[in-house]
Amino acid sequence: MSAMISAPRAVMDLKNGALSGEAVAKSVKTLGELHGVFADTEAFASLPGETVVYRVHMYAPVAEQTEGGLLFGTSYVQPGKVGGEYFMTKGHFHQKRDRGEFYWGLEGRGVLLMMDEQGRCTAEEVTPGSLHYIPGFTAHRLVNTGDVTLAVGACWPSDAGHDYGSIAQTGFPLRVVERNGLPVLTKEGRA
């Protein structure tokens, strides 16, 4: 018998990056799970904890921690603000610090904050088609500065892992807030 051409193991919607397939997992992060992330604690407390801030689709063809493999995902950050600060992801260093990652913009508009281990922070604009190389030893966080969902694709080594602890302690030195209707970077309200 000749070899068979099989169906792909996963499928991606080319427009918004939505993933489907057996090895695709979907997760949701609500405001209630983001204590200490936003600067304005009063505004944070006044918002319903069940508010969805972001969702992640992840295609894991190999198990996390596997050396030599890759993981693939799409992150969807909702539009919204806590006080003047735009909705964003928790942000993390990779547990294996030297592991890098690619991000690319799919829909909406936002900012990618990156911070090295010395706390030096840079910010790149994310728009459909923008491509972002996140080097190793660099924490990363997505911020939605628009009024529609920000969809961003990602591909990273399967053994990278996530370290949220260091970010929870020191935060990022820059925040993205709205001033006169526009997103600006500020050092105020540093966690």
Site residues (CB under 6 A) for ligand F6R? Answer: 56, 73, 75, 89-92, 101, 140, 142, 154, 156, 160, 162
Comparison of 85 and 101: residue with beta carbon closer to Mn ion: 101
**Smallest distance from Mn ion to CB 83, Å:** 26
Backbone angles phi, psi at 126, to 5 degrees: -110, 125
Q: Interface residues for Mn ion in 95-134 (CB under 5 A)?
A: 101
Comparison of 95 and 186: residue with beta carbon closer to ligand F6R: 95
**Smallest distance from ligand F6R to CB 1, Å:** 40
Q: Which does 12 bind (CB under 5 to 8 A by kind): Mn ion, ligand F6R, none?
A: none
- What one-character DSSP code corresponds to residue 43? H
Q: Which does 89 bind (CB under 5 to 8 A by kind): ligand F6R, Mn ion, none?
A: ligand F6R
Inter-residue contact 77 to 88 (CB < 8 Å): yes
**Smallest distance from Mn ion to CB 134, Å:** 7
Longest Cα separation, the chain: 68
**Smallest distance from ligand F6R to CB 7, Å:** 25
Q: Is 115 exposed, middle or buried (0-12, 13-18, 19+ CB in 10 A)?
A: buried
**Residue 40: other Cβ atoms inside 10 A:** 16
Q: Which does 56 bind (CB under 5 to 8 A by kind): Mn ion, ligand F6R, none?
A: ligand F6R
37's CB contacts (< 8 A; 6+ apart) are: 88, 90, 191
Of 81, 85, 46, 74, nearest to 150 (Cα)? Answer: 74
What does the binding site for Mn ion look like in residue numbers (CB under 5 A)? 101
